[in-house]
Amino acid sequence: MVAICFTVVSFLPKRRIGIFFSKTSTTTALTVYILVVAIIYNLLLRGLLSPVGWARVSDELLHVVSPLIFLVFWVFFVEKSGLRYSSAIRWLIYPMLYIFFILIRGYYVHNYPYPFIDVVTLGYTKALINASMIVIFFWLLSLLLIFIGKKFPGAKERTLR
């Protein structure tokens, strides 16, 4: 999603999709999403696989470098004064749909991509508790970024448009 955002904002800034990805709310939501990816991967998933060679490079780019670059982009190039706390609930739609997809897919293929929501190993109760904790984490991180954005709105003259 981060790559799509950068590409669309760079090459299609006046089109409807470019305008959508240029919105403060959209870029802040994407910042939350990519930060959650980085945090969960680095705290919970990093030791589960041991990629080597180019797979390792790709892994680091996806889970460390990209989130840091997008965070820097958000801090310095996104005008944040229009952020609203009410947006945080709306930003939960994507992660909740993703978790729902994982659970439905896992039910049919008996394979879950993350051990903390692996219903086969944990059972539905524990997996749903863990999924709920992740959604709460998304919400809290969303509120934190909105708070930071309101305190340091900046970037008015540095937007990409």
Q: Are 139 and 63 in contact (CB under 8 A)?
A: no
Percent of the chain with pLDDT over 70: 96
Residue 16 belongs to domain spanning: 2-151
pLDDT of 25 over the 60 cut:
yes
Q: Are 143 and 151 in contact (CB under 8 A)?
A: no
The pLDDT of residue 45 is: 93
- 40 falls within a domain: yes
- 103 falls within a domain: yes
Domain count, the chain: 1
pLDDT of 160 over the 60 cut:
no
* Angle (deg, nearest 10), helices 93-109 and 119-151: 170
- 158 falls within a domain: no
- What tens digit of pLDDT does each residue of 80-105 get? 989 999 999 999 999 999 999 999 99
The pLDDT of residue 154 is: 72
51-57, long-range: CB < 8 A, 24+ apart: none
- 160 falls within a domain: no
- 26 falls within a domain: yes
Provide the pLDDT confidence category of residue 156 given band limits of 50, 70 and 90: low
**pLDDT (mean) for 55-65:** 93
Query: What residue spans of the chain are helical by DSSP H?
Result: 2-11, 16-22, 24-40, 54-60, 66-77, 87-90, 93-109, 119-151
